[in-house]
Homo-oligomer: A and B are copies of this chain.
Amino acid sequence: MAISEKSIVSDTDTQYRALPPGSIIGILGGGQLGSMLALSAARLGFQCYIFDPNADCPAARNAARHMQAEYMDLDRVKEFANVCDVVTYEFENVPAKTAFSASQHSTLFPTSLALDVAQDRLQEKTFIRDRANVAVADFIDIQSEAGLIEATQTLGFPCVLKTRRLGYDGKGQTILRKPDDIHSAWENLKGVDAILEAFIPFIREISVVTGRNIWGQSASYPLIENIHKDHILHTSTAPAARDDGRAQALSKKIMDALNYVGVMATEFFELEDGTLIVNEIAPRVHNSGHWTQNAGCIDQFELHIRAICGWPLGSTVPTHTVEMTNLLGQDIDNWQDYADETGTFIHLYGKSEPRQGRKMGHINRIIKTTP
C-alpha cells in the first residue's frame, strides 16, 4: 500500500490499475451525497478528502480532511487534486474550470465530458438524442421571445420552458399552457439561456442507477419507480413493477457514448404504450438510488467508489424491496417514530437548519425480502 503501488491513469485505459485500500479519494462537494460517498469509501479502507466552501458541510463530519475553499479558487483546487489519487464530484454544477483543474492534477471520474453534457440541458438532450441515439422529448433552443412564440407553435401546448443551466428539484421550469403564458414566462427568464420542451404525458416516472468502470463493464440496479411532490422526489421504490431491462439498456447506451466511469442515474418518463423517454441524466449518485443502502447488495455509493477506483463492481441484485422516503424540512422531527419502526433504516445528513423543502435525511423501509 505504498504510494508507488497506486495507479497512474492516462486518457487511455492501458495504464489503469485498481487503487488499493488506503488510497485518497477527493470529493468535490460536501453535501449529503459526498457524505454518504465518504462513509462507503471509509468502509473499504479509503481516505476521503472533501472540497467544499462551507465549514459545516455534512461530509466534513465523516471525512479524513476538509479543504474549505471556493470552487473557483483554482490554486486550492490544484493543491487538493495533487494529494488525491482520484477525484470525483457529488453534484453536476461543479464549475467547468474547477473540474478541468482537478483533471490536470489528478484523475477525474466521471470525466469532464459527463459534467459538460449534464450541466446544460441543450447539450444534454442533443448528446442523448444524436450521439447515444436514445429518445428524449422534442426540444428547441430559445434565444428570443419571438423564437419562443415560434417554438410553442412547433411543439404545441402544453410545453415546458426550462433554463439550460442550474435547474434542480423543478427550479427553473415553467409549464406553458396557452399563448397568454408566453410573455410572462419569457420575462421571468431574465435573459438566461433556455430551451422549450414538448410536454410528455407520462404514466410513470422511473429511473435507473448504473455503475460503469474504465473497462466498460457495468452493473445496473433494478428499475426504480419515483413519486415526486411539488417537483421534489418524495419516494423511490425498487425493484419496481414491469422491469424488462429496456431502461437499463438505454442508460448503458448513454454511458457508453460518454465513456462514463462511476455511477450515473438516468430519469425516464414512461408513456402509456410503454415508450421510454429520457428526462435527464445525473452524472453522480442519485437520490433515487438511496434505497440501495438497505437492499442487501452493494449500495450505489460503494458502487461509485468501486467504479472510480477500478475495483470489481460487485453485485447489484437486491434481496429486499425497499421504499425510500425523503425527509424534508421538519419531517426530520419525527426521527424517534422512524427509529421505532421495524424494518425501517434511518439516514440523517447532520444539517443544522431544517428549512422548508430542504433534504434533511431519508428513510428506507423494507417492504419485501426475496431469498
Enumerate chain A interface residues (CB-CB to B < 8 A): 1, 18, 20-22, 35, 38-39, 42-48, 60-64, 294, 296, 298, 306, 311-312, 314-315, 317, 319-320, 332, 335-336, 339-340, 342-343, 345-350, 352, 354, 361, 366, 368-371
Contact A348 B62 (CB under 8 A): no
26 contacts between A and B (CB under 8 A): A1-B352, A1-B354, A21-B335, A21-B350, A21-B361, A22-B350, A22-B352, A39-B39, A44-B347, A45-B335, A45-B348, A45-B350, A45-B361, A47-B350, A60-B64, A61-B63, A61-B64, A62-B64, A294-B296, A296-B319, A296-B366, A312-B339, A314-B342, A317-B342, A319-B319, A369-B371
Which of chain B's residues have a CB closer than 8 A to the CB of A371? 368-371
Contact A62 B42 (CB under 8 A): yes
Which of chain B's residues have a CB closer than 8 A to the CB of A306? 339
CB distance from A288 to the nearest CB of B (A): 19
- The CA of A369 and the CA of B318, in the complex, are separated in Å by 11
Partner of A332, one of B21, B315, B320, B369: B21
- The CA of A311 and the CA of B46, in the complex, are separated in Å by 30
- The CA of A366 and the CA of B42, in the complex, are separated in Å by 21
Which of chain B's residues have a CB closer than 8 A to the CB of A46? 350
